[in-house]
Amino acid sequence: MIINHPLLGPRDSAEFVYLGTSNLMDRPDPETATPEDWHDYAYLRDNPAGPHRELWFHEGGDRSILIVTRDTTTHEISSVELARNPGAQV
């Protein structure tokens, strides 16, 4: 797979480490979260067949974390964003 990095252009996916669903960015608020919230956050996954927003860490590159939207049934990548600023035009 080729991941089209917003800053660096097309890069081999082997340069990246896969971190899982982008839902992991929505961390529960430690002030108010219940143990059940933490359980759901840490262990449960939507695991869709189709478009999936997921985090890829560019370990072998600029060490940015990207949000990649990829179809899990075809591996086709439809969009790549910087996780620290999703949706921004670079």
Partner 1 sequence: MRYSGFKVIKEALTGHKGWLPAWRDPEPKAHYDIVIIGGGGHGLATAHYLASVYGQHRVAVVEKGWIGGGNVGRNTTIIRSNYLLDGNEPFYEFSLKLWEGLEQDLNYNAMVSQRGIMNLIHSDAQRDAFVRRGNAMILNGADAELLSEAQIRQEYPFLNFDDARFPIKGGLAQRRGGTVRHDAVAWGYARAADRRGVDIIQNCEVTGFRVENGKCLGVETSRGFIGAGRVGCAVAGNSSRLMEKAGMRLPIESHVLQAFVTEGLKPVLPGVITFGAGHFYVSQSDKGGLVFGGDIDGYNSYAQRGNLPVVEDVCEGGMAIMPMIGRARLLRMWGGIMDMSMDGSPIIDRTHVDGLYFNGGWCYGGFKATPASGYAFAHLLARDEPHETATAYRFDRFRTGHMIDEKGMGNQPNLH
Question: Which residues bind to partner 1, rule: CB under 8 A?
Answer: 1, 12-14, 18, 20-21, 35-36, 39-40, 42-49, 52, 54, 70, 72-75
Q: Please, what is the minimum distance in Å from the beta carbon of residue 69 to partner 1?
A: 12
Smaller CB separation from partner 1, 47 or 89 = 47
Q: How far apart are CA 3 and CA 48, in angstroms?
A: 20
Smaller CB separation from partner 1, 43 or 88 = 43
Quick count: other Cβ atoms within 10 Å of Cβ 17?
13
Cβ-proximal residues to 21 (8 Å cutoff; 6+ apart), any chain:
45, 46, 52, 53, 54, 55
Smaller CB separation from partner 1, 14 or 90 = 14
Q: How far apart are CA 30 and CA 18, in angstroms?
A: 25
Q: Please, what is the minimum distance in Å from the beta carbon of residue 83 to partner 1?
A: 16
Smaller CB separation from partner 1, 48 or 86 = 48
